[in-house]
Structure 1
Amino acid sequence: MATVPSTLFHTAEDYLGLERQSDQRHQFIDGQIYAMAGESLAHSTICCNLLSLLVSQLRGTPCRGLSPNMKIRSGPAQKHSRKGLFSYADASVVCGEPRFHDEHRDVLLNPTLIVEVLSPSTEAFDRGEKFHRYSAHLDSLRDYLLVSSESAVIDHLRRNAAGEWLFTSVEGLEAELLVESIGCRLPLAEVYERVEFPLEEENPLTDAP
């Protein structure tokens, strides 16, 4: 989802005060507030498919799936700081007792899994700076999924017991991703159910005279 920044700098508490009264979602990045744009049909469908798969498999376990409306903090805890990231993941999972930024219980501090469905305008941020902040500030985070909305590909970053991040990628509708930390299997055929991918341009004929 594309974002548009404000021109003013705010503290984290300024942002939360505004966000809790807003009908539109915004992200906070080091003092700037970014309005989040809408999402494509493919993006929205993938998000719903993923949440459905996660929720159905997490029933009866210590883990629960959370919708894209739950904010996640990855940065300093100081109320008047202009540093840090308050963001919305496309889906997340928390295991055990959720911990929150304050009494409003709408900013999660301890996700186990975060899922980002990639859009052309935000892919670089999701793969780069956003992941850096998640990994640096969220000790609870074990898995980070980057899900393409243009082809059947999921990139999986998994933190091992030594704190190292391991990368794997699964591709194709016949493939399946196992997320061991939460005991969930994600068949790509179900993740991408009813998603129509852009048609690839045909290659020009090479045997023309």
Structure 2
Amino acid sequence: MTVDEFLVWAEGRPGRYELDAGEIVAMSPQRARHADAKFAVQMALKAAIRRGGLPCRMFPDGMTVRIDKDTAYEPDALVYCGARLDGDAVEVPNPVVIVEVLSPRTRSLDSGEKLVGYFRVPSVQHYLVVDAVKRRVLHHRRGSGDLIETHIVAEGALRLDPPGLDLALADLFEDDGPA
């Protein structure tokens, strides 16, 4: 199946899916920790965009990123800069920042296949893999040529430039208190 066929197939279908090398992959229900972490990341990105006065938008999970003709992922959050997308769009054509929150089932996929895939998209400058349990972020950044620089960040802040976002790590793991 191609991404175009997949997007038609997925329209209005219950559940969440990704397309990997032409194969439909159902996404598992998420755990509370994962949902909390995604929401904290999404809010931190949105606040950083607003603070920076950037012409960018944060999209939560649900938007599709096309990797190639037969692979499309749905990250947990992303940042897109540029003209406002059509209100009926389901695909983000040129994301700058991609975020995946680790879950037990996706740990190797997020740190392996998706890492390679997301950097096949020329606009992607940063890929953040958020570990909500260990409270750290693997920050993969596009360097010069084919170089991908990786940093493990456990405290302080992240500078995502471009597009010019500053994220305090504490904001990515914001808690409402004990569960």
TM value normalised by structure 2:
0.88
Q: Give the 3-state SS of the residue equivalent to 1:58 in structure 2.
A: helix
CA distance in structure 2 between the aligned counterparts of 1:163 and 1:30, rounded to whole angstroms: 22
* Cα deviations by residue, 1:118-171 (Å, 9 ceiling, x for unpaired): 1121111111111112112x1001000010021111010111243421111111
For 2:106, the equivalent position in structure 1 comes to 122
Instruction: Give the 3-state SS of the residue equivalent to 1:28 in structure 2.
Output: strand
Distance, in Å, in 1 between the alignment partners of 2:127 and 2:2 is 27
Map of 1:194 onto structure 2:
175
Question: Aligned to 1:94, which of 75, 80, 103?
Answer: 80
Partner of 1:112, secondary structure, is: strand
Q: Tell me how far apart the structure 1 counterparts of residues 67 and 98 of structure 2 sit (CA, whole Å).
A: 12
**Structure 1 position 196, deviation (Å):** 8.1
Assess if the C-alpha contact under 8 Å between 2:100 and 2:129 holds in 1.
Answer: yes
Q: 1:176 aligns with which of 137, 157, 171?
A: 157
Aligned CA RMSD, in angstroms, stands at 2.3
Query: In 1, Cα distance between the equivalents of 2:136 and 2:75?
Result: 18
Alignment check: 8 A CA contact 2:41 2:172 kept: yes
Secondary structure of 2:139 counterpart: strand
Bigger Rg over Cα: 1
Where does residue 28 of structure 1 map in the other structure? Answer: 19
Q: Secondary structure at the match of 1:64?
A: strand
Aligned residue pairs total 176
Gaps of 5+ in 1: 1-9, 77-83, 198-209
Shift of 1:183: 2.1
1:140 aligns with 2:134: no
CA distances 1:17-47 after superposition (whole Å, capped 9, x unpaired) = 2211212111111221111111111111111
Contact kept in structure 1, 2:48 and 2:167, CA below 8 Å? no
CA contact (8 A) 1:99 1:110 kept: no
Partner of 1:56: 47
Q: Which ranges of structure 2 fall in alignment gaps of 5 or more residues?
A: none
Is the aligned partner of 1:16 residue 2:7?
Answer: yes
Give the TM-score of the pair, scaled to structure 1: 0.76
Question: In 2, distance between residues paired with 1:127 and 1:32?
Answer: 20
What CA distance in whole angstroms lies between the structure 1 residues aligned with 2:113 and 2:85? 23
- CA-CA distance at 1:177 after TM superposition: 1.8
Q: Counterpart of 1:53 in 2: which secondary structure?
A: helix
